[in-house]
């Protein structure tokens, strides 16, 4: 019974992660489309003499970067890293005793 519940929790976590990744790629797709439209509009209106579309690209791009960091965590300092370090320190303490 315990194993089934553990498997169910793993499945739910995996599904949550897949949904987050899907949301990121959807946001990235809309970013590319929308910024392309703004760039085309900017070019059409003033031939990029004043590239105002870059302000929108920069602002939205920062948000996308934060979203990417949240989803694709640094593998060196993720949850697995914390668990490995905790186990390592606990093993060292056990060897001292």
DSSP string covering 24-91, please? HHHHHHHHHHHHHHHHHHHHHHHTTSS-THHHHHHHHHHHHHHHHHHHS--TTSSHHHHHHHHHHHHH
Averaged in consecutive runs of 10 residues, what is the pLDDT profile of the chain (97 residues)?
Answer: 74 88 96 98 95 97 93 70 78 79
């Amino acid at each position: 019974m315990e194993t089934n519940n553990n498997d169910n929790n793993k499945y739910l976590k995996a599904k949550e992660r897949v949904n987050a990744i899907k949301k990121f790629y959807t946001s990235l797709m809309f970013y590319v489309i929308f910024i392309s439209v703004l760039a085309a509009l900017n070019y059409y209106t003033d031939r990029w003499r004043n590239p105002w579309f870059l302000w929108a690209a920069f602002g939205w791009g920062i948000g996308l970067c934060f979203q990417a960091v949240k989803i694709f965590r640094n593998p060196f300092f993720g949850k697995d890293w914390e668990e490995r370090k905790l186990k390592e320190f606990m093993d060292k303490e056990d060897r001292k005793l």
